[in-house]
Structure 1
Amino acid sequence: MSADTADLPQLPFERPAVLDIGPIWAELRARHPITPVVTPAGDPAWLVTGYLEAKTLFSDPRLGRSHREPETASRISNSGFNGGPVGSFEGEPAFNARLRRVLVPSFSARRMRSLEEGMQGLTDSLLDDMVDAGRGGKTVDLHEHLSLPLPIYVICQLLGVPYSERDYFKDLSERSATMTGDDPFTAIIELLAYAGELAEVKRQNPGQDVITDLVQAQRDDPNFTTDELTQIVAGVLFAGHETTVNRISIGALLLLENPLARQRLIGEPAARPRIVEEILRLAAPENFGLARYAREDIVIGDTTIEAGDAVIISTLAGNRDTTAFPDAETLDPSRPVAPAHLSFGHGAHYCIGASLARTELRVALTSLFTRIPDLRLAVDVGELRLHTERLTGGLHELPVTW
């Protein structure tokens, strides 16, 4: 694509409110569902806003995270994650195949059931503490009391990371996700080093956890490098809690703003799966999308994405495409299951941890509103702010009372 970025829309777009992504996404989709834009780093990229186009490109093996000439590739941002090309161009297909071969068994149904038992107990304990903190009508931060600690606990249990180290890797994750300054690059180096230390501990003292699974897989596969192993551990540690933390908070806010859905969540267990799917569809803590690079020319409709071009697939825009989801801005507990939303991607790169994230949302939100049915915001919704400086977005805080 042309390097001339004059007059092109520049990401990130201004957002009117936490639950309002703004009209520009629909305007761009109406103009063309694949549109040239300028990234937050100032480089050219294609922005995908249409549901069908996003679904098609998610499934296309000609898109990847690496680049044949990474030094010339468009930068997305200064974030340590999703900021630019990652990994070896020649080795990426084999790496992706190995990643799924190793991780899919690690997310077995038996392990997920075991995690669910623990997360329900922790959720109840967290809510006990939250209720104590809110006695006498005091305002409490739901984000800090529930949304943050629950996914961190779950990812620690899943990976075999000491829960006592949660503040350390939380800080590294947040710094790595920041899109400005030089600190994200320092943070991602530290996070990869920490991931390597965790792997070394499991080499000496294996357990029943994902890092042990990865270490054992590396022993059996001479092509599975230590750099790849630490990259996977760091990625799962980061993505395995950051996105869920933010969606629990945004999900709680969506339910606070939708009394009927909230009542059905509490009173109709059969409705809970669809409510969770609607929350996943509409909860958009971030403000642009997933960055990929074309490994070769891709023709989609009347658009030619040339080899090496950056492509940003916007799930928040695709999930609000009215051709796929009528009345797309509404949280509808009765919405048919199909078509599926794009929050976990699609096709071969569908998120391995999707079922775990769904379980965390269901447990957290059902327990919250069952325990505190008269929960309400302690501030006007317009006062809530998102972390626009972070790749993963998310609320600064969610003050509530009851």
Structure 2
Amino acid sequence: MTVRLPFEQTDPLQVAPLLRGLQREGDVHRVRTAVGHEAWLVTGYDRVRALLADDRLGRSHPEPEKAARTGESVLFGGPMGDFDTEAADGARLRALLQPQFSPKRMRAFRPRVEELTAGLLDDLAEHGSPADLHQALALPLPILVICELLGVPYADRERFRAWSEAAGDTRDRARSEQGLAELFGYGQALVADKRTKPGDDFISRMCAEGEVSDDEIAMMAMAMLFAGHETTVVAIGMGALCLLTHPAQQQALADDPGLVTSAVEEMLRAPAKGGGGIPRYARTDLDIAGIRVRAGELVLLDNGAANHDPGIYPDPDRFDVARQAAPHLSFGHGGHYCIGAPLARIELQAVFAQLITRFPALRLAVPVEDLRVRSDVLTGGLTALPVEW
């Protein structure tokens, strides 16, 4: 019987039992996506890592209307880009974006991220116990950060957050299309405004360089607005949950704040994902672990499963803030490695360097079984994280 995605998870921090069973059988599996299309699921670390950097796989498809889909989101549910120019287009885009997220620029921005984090924790302390850590910290911090970087008014957060959620809807194509259209229109208006009132931000710098059209600037900015806050919101929430469900590890980090770097990497690795991973389409026939994959077929590179490969990570389901291991694949690998990874790390390090120090008695206010992970949007994540101290 062909397995249907997504895998059912009884615990947001544990690998789905069905996925664990597949991993024991091998690295490549025939599955059906949430919308019933056939695909190949790759779960082993070494093969996922190699295929992420393999130019025989891509995000585009020669006949997009005939391609298998993972879901109904127009952002990530099916093929993206032009099949004939994908590699050149990707290289050009990275060349434009990379300087905006250079190590030097990110290091200069770190104190501001730490300041924003401290302000939110001040508000949390003032509000008092209990509180929802999702609403108080995990959600607002990435939005504040990406707004400042891009030049997006924080006052507009309710609007663009709603459009982002709609665009990422994996079940309702019309809602996803409408959300993406609204987001792009908002980006166009921002670019037009920056043309007359520039600032020290990404959109203004792109306008000043004059190398790309206003529509392309709007597209890039809104893509970063979506990716730059949605994924980090999830990472903060799941990272906090990892700590709060492992008191000994929480105490270890409190005792040795120097562990924050390795702790953040473990938070990025450890949460189990059940959605199937990163979609790619075979650009040519190829063999994966002795299995023939035909040109045009959908290949899902399950970085979440790879992050729990017992051949790479001893006792992979154990959460260990001091773990020293192979680099996780949560940000991808190779030419598609996430450009925003340095920024995400800065945000996570700022949060967990301060949170445990400020709130040493922080604990979950509800049983972990009562927590809910979203399955209707691309990024998933907790709907709430009730805590007390």
* TM-score by shorter chain over 0.5: yes
Alignment of 1:83 with 2:71, yes or no, is: no
CA contact (8 A) 1:247 1:285 kept: no
CA contact (8 A) 1:59 1:348 kept: yes
CA distance in 2, matches of 1:270, 1:369: 13
Task: Name the aligned partner's letter for residue 9 of structure 2.
Answer: R
Q: Residue 3 of structure 1 aligns with which residue?
A: none
Task: Name the aligned partner's letter for residue 156 of structure 1.
Answer: C
Alignment of 1:187-336 (within 5 A): 187-217=179-209, 219-220=210-211, 224=212, 227-284=215-272, 287-336=275-324
Deviation of the 1:201 alpha carbon: 2.5
CA distance in 2, matches of 1:264, 1:370: 12
Alignment of 1:92 with 2:92, yes or no, is: no
Deviation of the 1:227 alpha carbon: 4.9
CA contact (8 A) 2:15 2:273 kept: no
Q: Residue 4 of structure 1 aligns with which residue?
A: none
Q: Summarize deviations over 1:88-111 as a string: whole Å, max 9, x none.
A: 111211110011101111112332
The 3 A distance-change label for structure 1 pair 251 and 295 is same
Task: Name the aligned partner's letter for residue 260 of structure 1.
Answer: A
Identity of aligned residues (%): 44
Which residue of 138, 155, 158 corresponds with 2:149?
158
CA contact (8 A) 2:163 2:183 kept: yes
Alignment of 1:169 with 2:169, yes or no, is: no
Instruction: Report the TM-score, using the length of structure 2 for normalisation.
Output: 0.95
Alignment of 1:374 with 2:361, yes or no, is: yes
Task: Name the aligned partner's letter for residue 307 of structure 2.
Answer: N
Q: Secondary structure at the match of 2:366?
A: coil
CA contact (8 A) 2:285 2:293 kept: yes
CA contact (8 A) 1:178 1:184 kept: yes
Deviation of the 1:228 alpha carbon: 4.1
CA distance in 2, matches of 1:52, 1:204: 50
Residues paired across the two proteins, number: 388
CA contact (8 A) 2:285 2:292 kept: yes
CA distance in 2, matches of 1:378, 1:30: 36
Q: Secondary structure at the match of 1:291?
A: strand
Alignment of 1:73 with 2:67, yes or no, is: yes
Moved more, 190-199 or 353-362: 190-199
Task: Name the aligned partner's letter for residue 20 of structure 1.
Answer: Q
Alignment of 1:343 with 2:330, yes or no, is: yes
Q: Secondary structure at the match of 1:37?
A: strand
Q: Summarize deviations over 1:53-108 as a string: whole Å, max 9, x none.
A: 11011001122211100010011101132111112111211110011101111112
Which residue of 3, 7, 14 corresponds with 1:13?
7
Task: Name the aligned partner's letter for residue 198 of structure 2.
Answer: P
Structure 1 vs Structure 2 CA RMSD = 1.7
Alignment of 1:108 with 2:102, yes or no, is: yes
CA distance in 1, matches of 2:155, 2:369: 36
CA distance in 1, matches of 2:152, 2:44: 39
Which residue of 145, 152, 167 corresponds with 2:136?
145
CA contact (8 A) 2:15 2:274 kept: no
Q: Which runs of 5+ in 2 are unaligned?
A: none
Q: Which runs of 5+ in 1 are unaligned?
A: 1-6
Instruction: Report the TM-score, using the length of structure 1 for normalisation.
Output: 0.92
Deviation of the 1:204 alpha carbon: 3.0
Deviation of the 1:345 alpha carbon: 0.4
CA distance in 1, matches of 2:125, 2:371: 22
Q: Residue 61 of structure 1 aligns with which residue?
A: 55
Deviation of the 1:326 alpha carbon: 0.7
Q: Residue 180 of structure 1 aligns with which residue?
A: 171
Deviation of the 1:267 alpha carbon: 2.6
Q: Summarize deviations over 1:280-332 as a string: whole Å, max 9, x none.
A: 10134663312121122222220222111111111111100001111001112
